[in-house]
Amino acid sequence: MTQTLPVVGAGVRPLVRAAALVALLAATACTKDDLLSVTDIDVATPSSLNDPAVLPTLRASVVSDLQVAMGAGLENGVITNGGLLADEFIWAETFPTRFEMDVRSTNPINVTLDGVYQSLQRARVTAERVEQRYAALQPTNLARAEVQAIAAYTYVLLAETYCNGIPLSRFDADAGTSELGEPLTNAQIFQRAVVKFDSALALVGAPATPSADQARVLNLARVGKGRALVDLGRFAEAAAAVTAVPTGFRFLLIHSENTGRQNNGVFIPTGVAARFSVANREGTNGLPYVSDGASDPRVFSPRGDNVGAFPAVGLDNLTPMFVQTKYPSRSASIVLADGVEARLIEAEQAQRTGGDYLAVLNTLRANLPTLLFNPALPSRFNPPAIAPLPALARPASTAGEVDQLFKERAYWMFLTGHRLGDLRRLVRQYGRDAESVFPTGAFHKGGTYGTDVNYPVSFLETNNPKFTGCIDRNA
């Protein structure tokens, strides 16, 4: 009830004002305990998550946590860390934690490694807990399948990034208990990812005429399942998993200018803070991203000129900055999965079985104008035309075919978090020596490269008594 008090004039004695105050307190029956008992509307309690109305907010948290793991709001994420250890980026600043990553010699006690590992594990746990909320409250909601697919992607990203021996712990918020995970091999985690993708597909079902939203979730899960199966070396199954995915399909992680957490985490350390320069034949074995970018818009990376988001030199005041143009702003979206990846999976199976893989690659190249993502290339750098790319010729050897296939994968999926996993596969599945695949020899700022082919699990995980370190550091 709203109470209306009379206006007390300046000439009323203090005693009268005091009496009015006493009367007010008596009327409201106010006590000291009442003053201290407040409802904090800014904190979501576990019981508040039992309302179906909160499910859209929970779904948004799943997407947001995945974006942070990929790099949003940070200068480190799956994309930049993978690019450093692989051959997409070179270190252009002074932080020793990122030096370790680029030089292939990362210590498990590394604060940069800690943050990304925690973010990726947090994204996994968030997705799994939200999927459980959907299962309890709205089990047929399409968002449940989407969340399950995103959970599966966190498994793929963990296994592509880290060594064998990754624990997957769980926390039961309702019971307030933890279940510490046993270290798992990469193969075991990829297998669990496939199961989760299959679960997402089953939740959508097989509608005769899927809606646009159903098709989006189905294709997200299909591409993810194909990726996990490729990582397992099950190439025929992978190709079958993606056959229904349209080439023009894209599932985007949407970024914005609103807050740091929502910013594109690849643009920030390349166009705002000059930390990572695009590499060019890094350590002998790396691809010529910068050189080829002069004629290939997929990897166009001009030398910066200190205008806008194009620094000319790194924060070390030494390394020339070749700036990626795929993500030209804080609000640039990132492709998590698309139909191009589906076709590349099919091409790999065709190459392995003697099929016409080259026709698949050349069809993609011929359609570059419709398939190129974020094509707003800065005109002042004289970028290549966004036009069909010339057809490729078939190499004379099987090894040459593999090189050609993996180069096309690298250029189509440049800076999307795929390259480290692909380099590991060249070692693991194609029998190549790591020193013929990863950057090696003299490091561009002195010293020599190490031998890492993956990242160690963060030292923070030793709080789990079941974890004592990587099972092995094999690719």
* CATH class of residue range 53-373+385-442+456-463: mainly alpha
HSE-up of 106 (CA within 13 Å, CB side)?
Answer: 30
- Output the pLDDT for position 205: 97
Compare 285 and 177 and report the one with higher pLDDT. 285
- Output the pLDDT for position 5: 31
Which one, of 84, 92, 108, 160, lies nearest residue 449 by Cα?
A: 84
- Round to the nearest angstrom and report the end-to-end CA distance of the chain: 69
Residue 223 in this model has a pLDDT that exceeds 50? yes
- Output the pLDDT for position 176: 75
> Average pLDDT, stretch 343-349?
98
- Output the pLDDT for position 28: 47
469 in the Ramachandran plot: left (φ > 0), alpha (ψ -120 to 50) or beta? Answer: left
* pLDDT band at 370; cut points 50, 70, 90: very high
- Output the pLDDT for position 31: 60
* pLDDT band at 374; cut points 50, 70, 90: confident
Number of CB atoms found within 10 A of residue 309's CB:
18
Please tell me the distance from the alpha carbon of residue 448 to that of residue 149, in angstroms, as a whole number. Answer: 40
* pLDDT band at 335; cut points 50, 70, 90: very high
Residue 79 in this model has a pLDDT that exceeds 90? yes
Report the DSSP pairing between strands 177-179 and 250-253. unpaired
pTM: 0.90
- Output the pLDDT for position 34: 59
Residue 263 in this model has a pLDDT that exceeds 70? yes
* pLDDT band at 45; cut points 50, 70, 90: low
% residues pLDDT > 90 (the chain): 85
Which one, of 196, 35, 177, 30, lies nearest residue 128 by Cα?
A: 196
pLDDT digits (tens, 9 = 90+) for 145-174: 999 999 999 999 999 999 999 999 998 767
> Average pLDDT, stretch 197-222?
97
- Output the pLDDT for position 37: 62
